[in-house]
Amino acid sequence: MIVFPGCKINLGLNVGDQRADGYHNLETVFYPIPLNDALEIVRAPVDSNEAIRFSCSGLQIDGNPEQNLCIKAYRLLKNDFKELPPVQMHLHKTIPMGAGLGGGSSNGASALKLLNDQFRLGLREDQLRTYALELGSDCPFFIKNEPCFATGRGDQLQRIDLDLSAYSITLVNPGIHVNTGWAFTQLRLRKSKTGQTFNLKTLPQLPVNEWKHQLVNDFEAVVFEQHPEIEKIKTQLYLAGAEYASMSGSGSTVFGIFPKGQWSVPALPDHYFIKTL
């Protein structure tokens, strides 16, 4: 069976105090976008002496393969479902990594869903979200995969009625890997003069062309200081006519939201990953 894990952008990202478990409280709106990887899982041959065989293609995935969230998803379920058979997995990557798009989280969540469906484990959506949270804070969203107001670690999800189908979304990634752990350690928590921030839960009631006056991604100040090249992308997207532009997550992808048919190509280096959806 094959599935096509997508990714997300963050519409606003407010980072609160550190929690007792070491994570930070967050407020954000997750919005799914149709830039997809491909994940295939098949039952391994009967003579296989390995629980899982993993291969990949497309964009190069650095690091230890055992840390891949698809493999972790299999091992997580195998702990509770001993009958889960050996499998072969192949992941084709097109979503940039370390980019604030949640591609790895989406891969892990998709592996959980695919294994559940393919081998009839009978897990409900809420149970899949519990497993997904063990893989990472963004993973439960990709079980739900619809526009959500998120709080807690990003795992407390409430669906919101937000439709951006009248717009084009342009993603720009300069190929800079921003480590999320580093970004949290460097974060200077933003406090507005009133001590309050815009209520992201009410985002659907605010016109898109007003978002730039209300929404803030708290990671931008830290990441832009370290990587001015990323800040320049945001500026260029606005100059190209974006109604709203922001960095997604802890970066390095920046996105611009344009009225359909009104997008003009900003002058960006050839090696950048640029995709309009």
What is each CA distance from 58 to 30, 38, 61, 94, in whole angstroms?
A: 26, 10, 9, 6
| Same domain, yes or no: 116 and 188 | no
- Number of structural domains found in the chain: 2
Q: How confident is the model at residue 188 (pLDDT cuts 50, 70, 90)?
A: low
Q: pLDDT tens digit string along 35-56?
A: 999 999 999 987 777 889 999 9
Q: pLDDT tens digit string along 237-261?
A: 999 999 999 999 998 999 999 999 7
Polymer length in residues for the chain: 277
Domain boundary among 126, 159, 192: 159
CB 76 within 8 Å of CB 135: yes
φ, ψ at 68 (rounded to 5°): -65, 135
Q: What pairing do the DSSP bridges indicate for beta strands 24-33 and 148-151?
A: antiparallel
Q: pLDDT tens digit string along 80-131?
A: 999 999 999 999 999 998 899 999 999 999 999 999 999 999 999 999 999 9
Q: Is 13 helix (H, G, I), strand (E, B) or coil?
A: strand
pLDDT at 263 over 80: no
User: pLDDT at position 178, please?
Assistant: 87
- Alpha helices, H only, the chain: 69-80, 103-118, 125-135, 139-144, 180-186, 211-214, 219-226, 228-239
Task: State yes or no: cis peptide before 252, omega within 30 of 0.
Answer: yes
User: pLDDT at position 36, please?
Assistant: 97
User: pLDDT at position 18, please?
Assistant: 81
| Same domain, yes or no: 142 and 250 | no
User: Radius of gyration (Cα) for the chain, nearest Å?
Assistant: 19
User: pLDDT at position 177, please?
Assistant: 87
User: pLDDT at position 203, please?
Assistant: 96
**The tokens of 188 are what?**
């200077």
Give the DSSP H/E element, type plus range, for residue 148. strand 148-151
Question: How many angstroms from the chain centroid is the CA of residue 52?
Answer: 25
Angle at CA of residue 272, ends 267 and 275, nearest 5°: 85
Domain boundary among 128, 159, 190: 159
Task: State the catalytic residues.
Answer: 8, 138
Q: pLDDT tens digit string along 194-246?
A: 445 789 999 999 999 999 999 999 999 999 999 999 999 999 999 999 999 99
User: pLDDT at position 193, please?
Assistant: 41
User: pLDDT at position 98, please?
Assistant: 84
pTM above the 0.85 mark?
A: yes
| Same domain, yes or no: 92 and 202 | no
Q: CATH number of the domain that 85 lies in?
A: 3.30.230.10
User: pLDDT at position 196, please?
Assistant: 53
- Structural domain harbouring 74: 2-159
Q: CATH number of the domain that 210 lies in?
A: 3.30.70.890
Taking the C-alpha atoms of residue 61 and residue 247, their distance in angstroms, rounded to an integer, is: 22
| Same domain, yes or no: 19 and 124 | yes
Taking the C-alpha atoms of residue 180 and residue 190, their distance in angstroms, rounded to an integer, is: 17
Domain boundary among 141, 159, 177: 159
The C-alpha torsion from 133 through 104 and 224 to 263, rounded to 10°, is -120
| Same domain, yes or no: 31 and 147 | yes
pLDDT at 192 over 50: no
Q: pLDDT tens digit string along 144-186?
A: 999 999 999 999 999 999 999 999 999 999 999 888 888 888 8
User: pLDDT at position 194, please?
Assistant: 43
